[in-house]
Amino acid sequence: MFEWTAFEWIENILFYAALYVLLWNAWFLTVSKGIPNIRTAPAIRKKMADFVREDIAQKKKDKYTIIDMGAGNGDLSRYMARTFPEAHVIGVEIDKIAYWKCCFYKKLLGYKNLTYRNESFHYTSLKEADAIVMFLSWLLMNDIRATLEKKLSKNTLITSNKFPIGGDWVPEHKLDVKTLYFHQKSLYVYHSK
């Protein structure tokens, strides 16, 4: 049996915790392009859906398309597909493993109004987008802003969890959302110009 002192126990725990963090970061830097797959808090998903619902009512279109930029494991895009069965939902995810998980759950749950694209948001078409929902890293906001400015049609709804788009984009709404997810408390809402 181990005869470690309290200091040795703490030292070993810290060593393995640091090793775990190092390996976790290495995984995301090499496989996920530096962005971890973190699900959007349920309270924030619901607020996003409220804005999409309002936008659908205002636009009165026969075909409404929601694009989830950086779909991760697909929780947000599946929620949107379930909440808006009349809409077409597209999840865009660059990480192959996360993309495969998205496709697996889509097939398992039988969503007919949901598709996934395994590509960078730089290369995806946004012409059909009526709404963009996203929870991306602050590191990507400059890139996503440039992509949105180039590719979005006028008056497209954009909701961003946690991080503002920045630049000269001023949010129409900044909500402080009560949620159990300590790292997610803000929702930013825009319409493209």
- Quote the percentage of the chain above a pLDDT of 90: 60
Q: 83-122 pLDDT, tens per residue?
A: 999 999 999 999 888 899 999 999 999 999 999 999 988 8
CA–CA gap between residue 50 and residue 177 (Å, rounded): 13
- Selection from 71, 69, 70, 83 nearest residue 111 by Cα: 83
Residue-level pLDDT at 88: 98
CA–CA gap between residue 46 and residue 126 (Å, rounded): 23
Is the model's pLDDT at 30 over the cut of 70? Answer: no
Q: Residue 154: CA atoms inside 13 Å, Cβ hemisphere, count?
A: 1
CA–CA gap between residue 126 and residue 132 (Å, rounded): 9
Residue-level pLDDT at 39: 82
Is the model's pLDDT at 68 over the cut of 70? Answer: yes
Tokens 């976790």 map to which residue? 24
Is the model's pLDDT at 154 over the cut of 80? Answer: yes
